[in-house]
Amino acid sequence: MKSHTPKAAPHVTQNEALIFERSQPGRTGYSLPPLDVDETPLDELVPEEFRRDDELEGLPEVSETDVVRHFTRISTWNYSVDLGMYPLGSCTMKYNSRLNEKVARINGFANLHPLAPDAEAQGALQLLHELQEHLAEITGLPGVSLQPAAGAHGEMTGIMLIRALLDSRDGVAESNSPRRNVMLIPDSAHGTNPASANLSGFKVKTVKSTAEGLTDLEALRALCAEGDIAGLMLTNPNTLGLFERNIKEICGIIHDAGGLVYMDGANMNALVGVARPGDMGVDVIHLNLHKTFSTPHGGGGPGSGPCCCTKELEPFLPTPRVVKDVRGGDETYKLDFNRPQSIGRVKAFHGNFGMAVRALSYILTHGRDGLREATEAAVLNARYIAQGLKDDYDKPFDSPPMHEVVFTDKRQSRKGVHTLDIAKRLIDYGFHPMTIYFPLIVQGAMLIEPTESVGRGELDQFIYAMKQIAREALEDPETVLNAPHTTRIGRLDEAAAARKPVLRWKAEEQVSAA
């Protein structure tokens, strides 16, 4: 093992050796009590042929403090929602209350066996049923399945419902009549929309946006006239952060063409408690519990993407459904598998149950007024940033944004400073970068979503940082172009990054060695 002698304490030098490099022969991190039973020979435990011959070789020999401090130091290199504002547009990186985490860890919920019979799982089934009812109320769509495990999974489930309804309505199975096969998707859509449509066997046609950033109704009508329309997948507010104010007309056009409207509800943080997709004419929607309803995300899951639909689509929802049985004065809950028109299961057991617990806890602790207030604060915060930065950055759309606002690098790029550079420089000011180069239809996009979790003080700090960067881009572009300057790993050559990241301290060592 290579020995390692840092010049000062590792958290000062920023020089963190690998846990392997910290290894010292003979060090251990545990001490077991003396054996008070007969030792079982290894052969009786694991037969020879199943044993690895590299046993323990190369594992680091370290003390408990070595391990705890090493990983604690590394943990401080991460940015997180608990550390500060996380303005990643389209992701709704809100702060999630610890209370919801605590509720999800209640033993009866956390340790319930997924195969427990209905009679022994009444509390969990009741929780799922209540959450379904709340989501139905929030979306204005009465049929709810909690099975889908992510937003994209909810999309796929939703358009499979559309497929099933159209086939049954048009009698495809009996008559061999042609299937309606075209799914219309605006060019501002999240990439998962066309992917879900394609995966579910639809042919995707793109609807363009107007200069105002909304769905082009003329283009939509023209596409509908071509026939074969199965439906439309529409995000509202759209990924430009704008409310599609013609949504009722859009739904009318699709319904008149014989299709159904799927709404991508990942942006519901702008609508909850204020407006309901069901009232706008939408037939089916998915929600991202891991954006809007308090499941922490960003680490790769688990998530939850419930699907909510009209009465007309409800028979096709995945099995089993959680239903309430009222007999005499007794209410019991059960899983109903007898759904002959169902598209079948899309996820094992009840979906990601822990996410359902968090979501219900979030909904109940906020209440109706609280949910509305969260939405209003999310929109107000985005508008405050829109207003605060409009003199420094190009804002391609005039309309006031909903929960997120898009700017571009148009002014800064004249000095050779691009969106990527601005995002990197933001790190030096202590913020996680915004979403960059999305939506794709906006050149040099910076999509900023503050969420309701930040107060005015933090918004002002963010605006200050962005204004400083705009000034630097004009007066001292090199500082922005070489950012970040305060992190352990400096600016990567993005093209070469995948091949060979450069550690700042290594680069510095090489400089001092030379």
**Which stretches of the chain bind ligand PLP, using CB under 6 A?**
90, 150-152, 190, 192, 235, 239, 264, 266-267, 288, 303, 305
Tokens of 139: 């979306």
Least Å distance between CB 258 and ligand PLP?
25
Name the 3-class secondary structure at 46.
coil
Find the shortest distance in angstroms from Cβ 91 to ligand PLP: 6
Provide, rounded to whole angstroms, the least separation between the CB of residue 291 and ligand PLP: 6
CA distance between the termini of the chain: 26
**Nearest to ligand PLP of 16, 264 (CB atom):** 264
- For ligand PLP, the closer of residues 100 and 196 by Cβ is 196
How far apart are alpha carbons 56 and 210 in whole angstroms?
63
In terms of DSSP bridges, do strands 405-408 and 330-336 run parallel, antiparallel, or are they unpaired? unpaired
**Residue among 289 and 317 whose Cβ is closer to ligand PLP:** 289
Token pair 């939405």: residue: 375
Shortest distance in whole angstroms from residue 265 CB to ligand PLP: 8
CA-wise closest residue to 376 among 269, 450, 466, 474: 269
Compute the least distance from the CB of residue 293 to ligand PLP, in Å.
Answer: 12
Tell the smallest beta-carbon distance from residue 94 to ligand PLP (Å): 13
CB contact at 8 A, 144 and 307: yes
Rounded to the nearest whole angstrom, what is the least distance from the CB of residue 402 to ligand PLP in the complex? 12
Nearer Cβ to ligand PLP (305/484): 305
- Pick left, alpha or beta for residue 140 (phi over 0 → left; psi -120 to 50 → alpha; otherwise beta): left
Q: Which is nearer to ligand PLP, 306 or 484 (CB)?
A: 306
Nearer to ligand PLP, 185 or 483 (CB): 185
- 3-state DSSP call for residue 355? helix
Nearest to 473 by CA among 508, 450, 446, 505: 446
Residue nearest to ligand PLP (CB): 151
Closest CA to 182 of 240, 223, 140: 223
Residue with tokens 């939850």: 304
| For ligand PLP, the closer CB: 182 or 355 | 355
Q: State the minimum distance, in angstroms, from the CB of residue 301 to ligand PLP.
A: 8
Supply the DSSP string of 382-446, one letter for each residue.
HHHHHHHHTTTSB-S--SPPSS-EEEESHHHHTTT--HHHHHHHHHHTT----EES-STTSTTEE
Cβ-based nearer residue to ligand PLP, 94 or 190:
190
